[in-house]
Amino acid sequence: MAVLKYEEIAESLRARIAAGEFTPGATIPSGRDLAEQWEVSRATAIKAVDVLRNDGVVVAKQGTGFVVTETPVARPAGARRAGSARILGGMPFLRIGTPDWAEPPTRVANLLGISSGVRALRRIRVLQLPDGTPNSCVEAWFPPEIAEAAPRLADTAPIAEGTTRYVSRQTGRFPVEGMDITTVRNATDAEAHRLQVAPATAVAVLLHTAYDEDGRPLVAEEGVTPYSLFEQVDTYAM
């Protein structure tokens, strides 16, 4: 499928941001400048910037234009339905520790299709409410073939373009199907510490797995939310 011009411009800006040319807080080229550089209409240039804005990569700043986001934004586990931009339903987050190779829980290993004893790359983040308190903690597990092909997943720094786009660009594989499993249990000691709640607090657990067009898993994410903050609303035809 051919890449549209505004998508090409947006991806170019992503790459420049990821490379550090535009650091957090820096102003990206204006729609007029982009239109001149790429020899396109201003409407096309503005559409390219809108893609980055919708993904939470840049934000509008009055009197300045669009600047690279200071605080990284992520969605809760499972909030990955087609057509939803990363910024929609997104929250500021903190990366916990350094991504590491570990043996995933059995339920995660089964979803990733890896054998017992095989390690996967784990990234942990805590999503925050507007007042800075934790809303949920998410452990993202990447199978070895994905993590090895996308080495920036092992970095502590946020990936400006988002992990989904980065993995797709590195591997040529992109998510076409997601499966979410929601259960309830008590928080582990580590989860209670991250969420700043009492030990054994009741939590909702959303286990999300993304699959490519061949049905191969790309990532499994386990999001844990205290019972008092969890709400799931489904709207459907009847």
Domain assignments of the chain as residue spans, ordered by start: 5-68, 73-229
Question: What pLDDT, on the 0 to 100 scale, is given for residue 77?
Answer: 66
pLDDT score of 145: 97
End-to-end CA distance of the chain: 35
One-character DSSP codes across 33-71: HHHHHHT--HHHHHHHHHHHHHTTSEEEETTTEEEE-SS
Q: What is the pLDDT of residue 53?
A: 85
What pTM does this model have?
Answer: 0.74
The per-type count for the chain, helices as H runs and strands as E runs, is 7, 9
Q: Which residues touch 112 (CB under 8 Å, ≥6 apart)?
A: 104, 120, 141, 143, 209, 217, 220
* Tokens encoding 214: 């061949």
CA 223 to chain centre: 12
Residues 6 or more apart whose CB falls under 8 angstroms from that of 191 comprise 137, 203, 224
Q: What is the DSSP letter of 2?
A: P
What pLDDT score does 83 carry?
Answer: 45
Per-residue pLDDT of the chain (238 residues; tens, 9 = 90+): 466 899 899 888 987 887 778 888 899 999 999 999 999 999 999 999 998 887 778 889 988 899 988 766 666 666 655 444 444 456 788 889 999 999 999 999 999 999 999 999 999 999 999 888 999 999 999 999 999 999 989 988 777 667 888 898 899 999 999 999 999 999 999 999 999 999 999 999 999 999 999 999 999 999 999 999 998 888 888 9
Contact 140, 147 (CB under 8 A): no
pLDDT of residue 166: 85
> Is domain 73-229 classified as CATH 3.40.1410.10?
yes
Fold of domain 5-68 = Arc Repressor Mutant, subunit A (1.10.10)
